Structure 1
Amino acid sequence: MDTLNQIALPLCGGLAIAGLVLAYMLFRRRGVASGLRATAWALLPVAAYLTGALSALWTIGATVVGFVTNLVLNPMVWAGVALAGLSAVLFIVSGVMRGRRLRKSADPAVAAEAERPAVGAKPQQAPGARPAAGEPKRAQKAGPKQAAKDDDFSDIEELLKRRGIS
């Protein structure tokens, strides 16, 4: 760290001087706002040196570079990455297989649960039965495809009529 302190002061001072020259040029060409922003940037290296933050930033940077270098160049790490990928693929495949098995299950409780209508759902009518009196006339006269299509919009039409919107 002693070497860092010997190199850091001249380096930070040089960066600050170069930034202040650039800030002066920006004052003249682009105005006060650009010049002040450049001055603020130019003062940061000296501030980092004086507060001791520069050594902390150096340590963080060296640690990150060391971690990335060891990650990229280490075959054991790549073996671990490959195993993690294989594990993820196996989780996905087993989930798909389990879902298919549950759908094809011959368990009577599961089959009965699937066939039971949801709470508040309309009871299903037999194919030849007449529609109830509350259903729209178009659904009574049309074929099965048209009746299903009209039935989807009949609730909306009824709501609009109640609100006075045609």
Structure 2
Amino acid sequence: MLAETICSAVSAAGLGIAAVTAYRKRFLTALRITAYSLIPVGLVMTGAVGWLASTAFSPLAWAGFGVLGASWALFALTRAVERRRGIRAERAAAGDGKATPVSPSASAPALRQGTARGSRPATSSAPGSSAPSGASASSSDDFSDIEAILKKHGI
């Protein structure tokens, strides 16, 4: 009885807000508010509110929700274990089980290619930068392509 009264009051308030919105010549918004405000009355008329109110205060229903939650947790746990076992099996089938790291010289051709285009590597840090003056040559080579692009665009 209380839930039905609350739903009716919410619907009445929503219809009032819709009327004020329509008075302000915002008809599309007023229709949308009207549609939302009719939902609680429709739920009361179908009996869904009564069923929901009786379910919300039932200890048996809450125990059922707990059982459903435990079931979901068990499904998630078994899925995680299956994935973990699948990854181990793939690693064992691949060989030693360790991932091979990328060799340090793998990016060297790309760095040489950038300097071959005519861009010269920066040998000293730019004025105002916080980089130490004794930076290694490899770190200056890393930024030579970026410097060439910035110079090309006049930055």
Higher helix share: 1
TM-score bracket relative to the smaller structure: 0.3 to 0.5
Structure with larger RCO (C-alpha < 8 A, sep 6+)? 2
The TM-score with structure 2 as length reference comes to: 0.40
Alignment TM-score, normalising by the size of structure 1: 0.39
